[in-house]
Amino acid sequence: MSRVTKTTAYTGAVLALALTLTGCNGGGQPSGDSTSASASQSSLEPIQDVPSSASEASSSAGSASSSSKASTFAAVTSDRPTNDEMAKEHGFKALQLYYAINDHFLKQNSVDRELLGLAARDPYLSQDLEQLKAIESSGETYTGKSRVELLEAIIGGTSNVEGKQVPHSNAQLLVCEDNTSVSVKDKNGKPVSSGSALRYQTTYIVTWQDDDSSWKVATRDVMRDEKGNPKSC
């Protein structure tokens, strides 16, 4: 396994809440042989800011259906993956989509299962929704955006519903999440501390499944040091 020293930064969602979240480990590790792909060799494009139309659609959410909101975003789909580079590229694009949707939720203070389901799978999807709904009800407001840097990608396979191996369908992505520009305020407008670690390592598992041909986040795990604190980067 090679550790990347040069990383490429991408704009992501505001996830100051991530310090308190840890992903489940259901199907976490790639099955079969896995290889490590260097992030410094990636040709991935930076994620685009959420279009203004997303904000406009959400501001009229009282009359808009969940399907109309979801139309602003699209799941990351592909043919059956055939190599590690394809898995790394599509896996990270799916992670970028996940961040963009979370950012949309936090900025609009509105949560929608169908929309988040474009970028995440159960059981992690349900767990993340619970966390987002708790924030929604708290009345907290978020400004700024986090940045996520791809440090390393380990590609492996998964098993489909028939028990057959699907190579290159599991992307384990180690990223550095930077929340130094994120500001959180409570319902009274007072600043809320997001913890001491504003830059920390997080591992995501992003999988491709042949039932929907989509790449989606399956697990999330904040890396911890020997004292149990988020591991800085």
- Give 185-210 pLDDT, tens digit per residue: 888 888 887 666 789 999 999 999 98
Q: Which residue has the higher pLDDT, 189 or 125?
A: 125
With 90 as the cut, is the pLDDT of residue 20 above it? no
Q: Is residue 140 part of a domain?
A: yes
Helix (H, G, I), strand (E, B) or coil at 141: strand
Nearest to 116 by CA among 26, 24, 103, 107: 103
Q: Is residue 191 part of a domain?
A: yes
Q: Is residue 231 part of a domain?
A: no
One-letter amino acid for residue 8 of the chain: T
Q: Categorise residue 17: left if φ over 0, alpha if ψ from -120 to 50, beta otherwise.
A: alpha
Burial degree of 24 (CB within 10 A; 0-12, 13-18, 19+): middle
Please answer whether residues 106 and 135 qualify as being in contact, where contact means their C-beta atoms are separated by less than 8 angstroms: yes
Q: Is residue 1 part of a domain?
A: no
Q: Which residue has the tokens 């670690």?
A: 197
Query: How many separate domains does the chain show?
Result: 1
Q: Is residue 112 part of a domain?
A: yes
Q: Which domain holds residue 94?
A: 8-222
Cis bond before residue 46 (omega within 30° of 0): no
Which two structure tokens, joined as six digits, stand for 35?
């290889």
Mean pLDDT, residues 139-156 = 89
Burial degree of 65 (CB within 10 A; 0-12, 13-18, 19+): exposed
- Give 72-88 pLDDT, tens digit per residue: 899 999 999 999 999 99
pLDDT mean across residues, the chain: 75
Say which CATH number the domain at 38 has: 3.10.450
Q: Is residue 2 part of a domain?
A: no
Q: Is residue 230 part of a domain?
A: no
